[in-house]
Chain A
Amino acid sequence: MYKVLVVDDSADIRLLLGKTLKSAGYAVVEATDGDEVVSAVLAHEPDIILMDVSMPRMDGFRALALLKKDARTRSMPVLMVTAKGHPDDLETARSLGAHDYINKPWAHGEVELRVQWAITAVERRRQRIAREKEEKMAS
């Protein structure tokens, strides 16, 4: 079972995303602000992160930058979940290394789909790395 870390200051959003993802078959862990992300990742070792942008203590972009700076969390796929949908915001997310971007309010089924895509990508990547390791070992 893949594990998703949901980072949002709104408890209702956390509940909604939690229910949506659980019903789609994922394990869900939560963090309530950007400054908790790194420790939550280290504590729960999720497969993927859904993160809000507007948060009171540390916004999602800064938290994303922290994650990408830390070697231990660098390869973690991060999906930004936000009401901000301006092309500039998308560009910011992309330049900081976000994997995908979900606009609030999202379409019915969009979250599950995008999370699934991301998980697929993560899985394929893991497999590729494993294969490369095997090939290396074999050679």
Chain B
Amino acid sequence: MTRDRLIALAPASFALIVMLILDTAPLNWAVVNQESWPASLQSLVVLATLGGGIAWYAIRRAQATARELADFQRADEERRTVAAIGLGANWDLDLERVYSRVANDLRGLVAYDRIAITSASPDGKMNMVFIHGDALPEEHNGGVIDLSIGEPDGLRHAASLGFRSKLTVPIPAASGALTLRSKNLNAYGPRELDLMRQVVAQISPGLANARLFQSSQRQVQERTALAEIGRAATGERRLEPLFHVVRESLSALIDFDHMGVILAEPMSKRGRVAHWTAEGLAGLRDGDEVSLESKVLESTTVTTSHGLDPLELGGQAELDHDGHEARSWLRAPLIVRQRLIGLMILSAPVGIALGEEECRLLQQVSLQVAPAIDNARLNADLERQAEERRAIAAIGLAANSDLSLENIYESVADELASVLPYDRFSVVYTAPGQQEYEIAYVRGVEVAGYHVGDRVPPRQHDDFPIIDGQVRMLRTGTLEDHLSQHIHREVGLLSWAQAPLGAGSRLNGFLSIRSRQANAYTPHDLDLLERVANQVAPAIQNARLFAEERELRQQLDQQNHELHEANQARSRFLSTVSHELKTPLTIVSGFINMITKNPSGNLDPEQLDTLHIIQRNTARLSFLINDILDISRVDAGTFSLSPDDFELVDLFTELDDSFQAFLHDKRQKLVANWPAGPIWMHADRNRLAQLLSNILSNASKYSPPGSVVEMNATVDGDDLQIVITDQGMGISKEDQEKLFTAFYRVDNEKTREVPGTGLGLFIARSITEMHAGTIHLESEPGTGTTVHITLPGLIKEPVALEEDSETHIEIPRSRLYPDADMDDIPMSAD
């Protein structure tokens, strides 16, 4: 304005100078004296010049006024926009929306290609809270920015991205800054700076409110999450659901994509992965065993790290072999009663840093869940122990209630699977004296050369060497140097545990389990396997003994069968021979009987005596053959009776008659007494006659000439008792016991003179026993012998006597129809 006025005054000043040159007091003259031409001209020029100057000034002035008006109007507009931004920011409590609105509204005020708003978190780190426009791929809301490069928005290589101008305004309310970048040169001047300051001033109260609101909201969220975790921690007794709740609740507070829990094994420097969300991350999986000797574990508070080695056991790779990139980790020690029970681990996606805020949160959570995890683990241990006890009891029960080896192995394999998961289970055995193992049972993965029935020679450094034909147990464990390991590794079986099957002090084999998982078995598992082996070993031993015994029994049965066959063959032989002997004997005796009758009357007495001797011996031969036949029948079990009703008196009369004649040769006498008849019996008459004949002929044979043989028969109720006494040589005690066995004869000088086969008493006993009777003898050497025969229950009610009973023996009777008259015998089969 001053300059314009000066420029406007310049023509007037020039006119005054010209007047001073033309007239010292032209102005004064021109005004006072108007008649002078030259003076008038002079005055005219002066006036014209003055007028022009004034006019020019007036125009310039009007122009300036119009410009000032436009400026005023723009400033007013800007003020209005700024006020609108401020208004928008002040009624919204959502920071994200506020930033977004500001970025949008700014477009009408200050041109930019990129806007970035940063804000410091309580831990002092500067975070990107809003970014719009040309952003780099790795830039995102919440990311920590690096201020050390000297850029307020952490943007490296801005020039190479095409940005040529930058404007940064601090936002005290957010402890951050707003940075605009433009691709135009000198895009930002004092006006823009002024405007941006105004904008920041406008939105600051709103931001402060929104931040306050957000932080209080977050506190509520935090408290809710912690309460949720706390509730789950006290209520949940199982590990897996507990981990689930912790993970879900934490995910509302911390931006993480992986959670892990490693639990320390009691009394050891090792831990086991109990939970691992991202399988394979950092090379770990559920169930893996890890070393807990890391320095990390000495801290009692949550620590952070970056990389791929959360336990910091060594190895700083930026990329693991599964392609995972280095990332941010949080580790919270789980401490119960000053004892480290494990470690809780969180990891954020690549690019997100986990900071002090997350540490603080996790610290609280870990304090809250540590006792719960400890309890849940104790509970799990108890459950596992209960399950183990149940499995061992079940194995014991199944094994001891079965004598089939296969069934025992099956039940062990079944039960073991529930407490000791395996991919292959095998039973290896060796018999005493055997120099090889035998694979007795396999379930699961097959391994070449280790199938059921395969024999495996023990190796030099084997854990179960066979020494002196017995397997000796050296040690048990998950051994790396086991020589058969490589064979199993080839089929993917990485872990291995075995326990001896020692029945008593003698080791007979071992149980072996293998797993595809590395380090699958703990010392506790080995204990368990050993307990199972101890439980099942006696049963296996028993079953093996039983199998051996069964085999033995089968052999015995076979031998028995063969013996029986041999006996049958002997009986058949005896029977056949006897039959074959009978036909020639029939011919001999038949013709001798014919000749002895001396039908032509031309034989002298000496010849007839000789013929009688032949006749007598033929008869004896006939008896012998019948005895042998009877023996063969008793042996073959075909000795049977043909019982019949008959009159007892007849039998005794018949015997008396025939034996009086028989004894006559030795001048012996038979004194026979029997009850007065009629007494009816139901028995095999011929066999009873044979029984008594055998006893009577023995009595005669072993008694001296001229002695008396007594036979007394009495009936007592249904029982018939017969006592036969002789005055013979007698029998010693030891011989008495054996006399009733086949082919036994008392061997002394006297008996050798008496011919005999040793069959008579055996047959007598057989007949007695077939009639359910008893026979025994009383004797002293030199004082004779008494034989007692008792035949129970054979006496019948008397049958009505037939008319011709006295001539009973004379009545023609067929051998096939003993009860029928000849006339009644059917002549044909029908």
Contacts and interface: CB of A to CB of B under 8 A. Distances in A.
Given A86-B633, A93-B816, A105 B586 contact: yes
A125 B827 CA distance: 10
Interface in B789-822: 812-817, 822
Interface string A92-124: 011111111111111011000110111011101
Contacts of B594: 16, 19-20, 23
Given A13-B586, A86-B638, A104-B582, A121 B825 contact: yes
A75 B583 contact: no
A98 B816 contact: yes
A100 B814 contact: yes
Interface string B562-589: 0000000000000000111011011101
Contacts of B642: 87, 90
B816 A101 contact: yes
B485 interface: no
A109 B596 CA distance: 13
A88 B637 CA distance: 13
Contacts of A19: 594
A83 B579 contact: yes
B299 interface: no
B829 A77 contact: no
Contacts of A75: 827-828
Interface string A76-90: 110000011111101
Given A13-B583, A16-B587, A105-B585, A74 B828 contact: yes
A102 to B, nearest CB: 8
Contacts of B605: none
Nearest to B582: A83
Given A97-B828, A105-B589, A125-B827, A90 B583 contact: no
Query: By CB atoms of chain B within 10 A, which of A68, A86, A96 has the most?
Result: A86
A124 B823 contact: yes
B411 interface: no
Contacts of A68: 828-830
Interface in A30-49: none
A89 to B, nearest CB: 11
A100 to B, nearest CB: 4
Contacts of A88: 638, 640
Nearest to B826: A97
B814 A105 contact: no
A106 B633 CA distance: 21
Contact of A101 (B586, B638, B814): B814
B593 interface: yes
Contact of B829 (A95, A117, A124, A125): A95
B599 A23 contact: yes
Contacts of A96: 829
A100 B599 contact: no
A29 to B, nearest CB: 19
Given A54-B579, A97-B828, A104-B586, A90 B815 contact: yes
Given A10-B583, A16-B591, A105-B622, A117 B826 contact: no
A135 interface: no
A108 B813 CA distance: 17
A25 B580 CA distance: 30
A93 B826 CA distance: 13
B590 interface: yes
Interface string B216-236: 000000000000000000000
Nearest to A102: B815
Contact of A77 (B599, B640, B827, B830): B827
A54 B581 CA distance: 13
Interface string B615-631: 00010001000000100
A5 B591 CA distance: 20
A117 B814 contact: yes
A22 to B, nearest CB: 11
Nearest to B584: A12
Interface of A: 10, 12-13, 16-17, 19-20, 23, 54, 65, 68, 74-77, 83-88, 90, 93-106, 108-109, 113-114, 116-118, 120-122, 124-125
Closest 8 CB pairs of A and B: A97-B829, A83-B582, A117-B812, A121-B822, A105-B586, A104-B586, A100-B814, A16-B590
Given A85-B629, A97-B830, 4 more contacts: A74-B827, A84-B579, A106-B586, A113-B812
30 contacts: A16-B587, A16-B590, A20-B594, A23-B599, A54-B579, A76-B827, A77-B825, A83-B582, A87-B642, A88-B638, A88-B640, A93-B816, A94-B816, A95-B829, A98-B816, A99-B814, A99-B827, A100-B814, A100-B815, A100-B825, A104-B586, A105-B582, A105-B622, A106-B586, A108-B593, A117-B822, A118-B822, A121-B825, A124-B822, A125-B827
